Structure 1
């Protein structure tokens, strides 16, 4: 894997890459943009250098961006999409996971446990992207501009685990209905719990294990209470970036082209790179691997710990695939409907070699 220091110098990279639209062709434009929580790797290494650096610099100052984080505004989840549709902000970035209730197709690219590596996820997102773009326009009234993941959600345990069989009867913190269905299918007991309650709950034995990102779990000091890290990837936290439809239509074509090109060439690639780094470094640092670089996901520096890494065997992987296809996808197909499932089969299903049965 290439050095993470290259990822962290993304602002410098943005400044030297050529841009498609010449600055003199871009009229003066002011945009309001809402991004992910401040001080997150996604904010610091992806969104902020792009909107505060690459876009104004590449347009020779013609595009001025008023950038603020969702945490500074005190909004999250469905509120973000609604703010965009209402025109409170011109452009908004957020998580598809947090707005799955607004549009069932959001779950199509991140069904719990279905995708275990980021390259396959990229193929899944690319295949389903035209469907999401159409649905975002038609159902949510926004213009989709890009998609990229945050990083893999993995399993942290405070009790010994050697394989998936050892999860039987364990109490596992979950964060979504499909994750809950997967945990139950593996013989464990799903428990809904807030993120900040996990560490004391593990300490008291209220829960045995919990899912969260390999990076976020490490930075939140789950390494102080967990003993085993199971590389079972249940979600990737795919992000979206969308524009208010009316704002977008009012923009000059040169501005539209410039923003679309720069998002595709710079913002999305840096997001995918950051997700890869966050996933791998979170694991490496948590288990004491020599490849650990604690500052790789700055500003949330990682802690080098000595958890036991549990990797899925071929038998575990096959069991996981059966659990997902037999127990988890029904949650998705029921919510999505016949037409949605048919679109999934023709896109994601072809990538994964899986065909789902739609529920009437």
Structure 2
């Protein structure tokens, strides 16, 4: 026998059901985080193994994490525009915003950091905090943490063993003003290309080489078309984790702490993985008959001398930058 409820009770139960459905729908928020690195890159390993479980478990399911890898949502520029526009919650990007803020461009000045420990100690300390202090006011972005891409090297289809070898060499550099200027100062013909166009450009001999950190070089298989790597370590490139300011403000203080702590844990793991991976990649490259050229002290000194104008330009455009650079140089390189 079918049980019938009074109409008023049925209406009440329906209302309660709708209310519970709405509450359940609002009970969890999905945070979209995107980058342009392959799944095997330390960035994505750390996001999957550290960031996502830390956020989802720490928030008791109130926050969910969806990770977009391998440039699914675009490269640096598209991700930067997406997170600023609010169509993306969190982005892992490079230094693309350096011309819009005061001092973050300092981190990609040539030959600034001596090793990974030096870079980590600077970026995780007070100096690193000061470099991104104007992100919220000028960009509408909440800065969450420093990741790492690594020290940049130059892969080319001919060996670079002295300064004269740069002459006439068509090298892909990122389309960032300072990076283009560094490539030109070395004597190369610089071609700024989106990162996803580099392999085709190498294959079609539009460019003779590309500069990037070892993990990016190997993951993108550029070494298959170049066969020579100059371990110049001319620029250190970090990853910057940034959130849309309006999205960030919708999180409770407790949720913000969970996300920020998870970013710190994830980036720490990212650094560990990348340093270990770089050593392994160098062994793999040599096993695949890729020549790794370590500059002699004299060649290294010439490389440094060639790019010093980068500092002078930066100091002229941003008074106060020289004092920060001098502070960076005094930071201990060991933990």
| Residue 243 (structure 1) aligns with | 243
| Contact 1:114/1:324 (<8 A) preserved | no
| Residue 108 (structure 2) aligns with | 110
| Residue 77 (structure 1) aligns with | 76
Number of aligned positions between the proteins: 302
Q: Is the radius of gyration larger for structure 1 or structure 2? A: 2
Cα displacement (A) at 1:109: 1.1
Please give the secondary structure, in 2, of the residue aligned with 1:134. coil
| Contact 2:154/2:212 (<8 A) preserved | yes
Cα displacement (A) at 1:263: 2.6
- Find the aligned partners of 1:224 and 1:96 in 2 and give their Cα distance: 25
| Contact 1:150/1:271 (<8 A) preserved | no
Within the alignment, does 1:173 sit opposite 2:150 as a pair? no
Please give the secondary structure, in 2, of the residue aligned with 1:241. strand
Cα displacement (A) at 1:164: 3.8
Cα RMSD of the aligned pairs, angstroms, is: 3.1
| Residue 98 (structure 1) aligns with | 96
Please give the secondary structure, in 1, of the residue aligned with 2:109. coil
Match of 1:120 among 118, 121, 142: 118
| Contact 1:155/1:232 (<8 A) preserved | yes
- Find the aligned partners of 1:72 and 1:210 in 2 and give their Cα distance: 19
| Residue 322 (structure 2) aligns with | 345
Please give the secondary structure, in 2, of the residue aligned with 1:74. coil
- Find the aligned partners of 1:70 and 1:104 in 2 and give their Cα distance: 29
Within the alignment, does 1:215 sit opposite 2:196 as a pair? no
**Residues 121-160 of structure 1 aligned to structure 2 (within 5 Å):** 121-126=119-124, 127-160=126-159
| Contact 2:173/2:191 (<8 A) preserved | yes
Identify unmatched segments of 5+ residues in structure 2.
1-26
**Residues 225-236 of structure 1 aligned to structure 2 (within 5 Å):** 225-236=225-236
Cα displacement (A) at 1:282: 2.8
Identify unmatched segments of 5+ residues in structure 1.
1-27, 289-304, 355-360
TM-score (normalizing by structure 2) = 0.76
Worse-superposed segment, 207-216 or 66-75: 66-75
- Find the aligned partners of 2:189 and 2:79 in 1 and give their Cα distance: 32
What is the CA deviation profile of residues 278-310 of structure 1, one whole-angstrom value per residue up to 9, with x for unaligned ones?
43333222122xxxxxxxxxxxxxxxx111111
Match of 1:319 among 290, 294, 302: 302
- Find the aligned partners of 2:105 and 2:159 in 1 and give their Cα distance: 31
Cα displacement (A) at 1:270: 1.1
What is the CA deviation profile of residues 118-139 of structure 1, one whole-angstrom value per residue up to 9, with x for unaligned ones?
2222234235322233211221
- Find the aligned partners of 2:95 and 2:260 in 1 and give their Cα distance: 23
TM-score (normalizing by structure 1) = 0.72
